[in-house]
Amino acid sequence: MTRFIAVLAVLVALFGAAASSSSSGTQTRKDVKLTLVAYSTPREAYGKIIEAFKKTPAGQGVSFDQSYGASGEQSRAVEQGLPADVVAF
């Protein structure tokens, strides 16, 4: 449960940073896409966390690209330029 809360907090923080940098007082908020790169074991849990986050006010208009695999492969991919907003190994 603690890990769930920590991941949700990271997602909310990322969304807040993205929303504040792309909006002004007179503009409407744009949709935000975040990229999650992680090792494959918690894939199902992240799916549930993301769906729960999307149901919150902060999660409205947020979509996710997700990449899962072996942690070594994923870390090398990020190091070689795979875009990632959230990295979890």
Query: Across 1-89, where does the E strand assignment appear?
Result: 32-39, 62-69, 86-88
Strands across the sheet with 32-39, in order? 62-69, 32-39, 86-88
Mean residue pLDDT across the chain:
81
Quick one: pLDDT at residue 30? Answer: 76
The Cα 60–Cα 76 span in angstroms is 32
The pLDDT of residue 46 is: 95
- 21-60 pLDDT, tens digit per residue, is 444 444 456 799 999 999 999 999 999 999 999 999 999 9
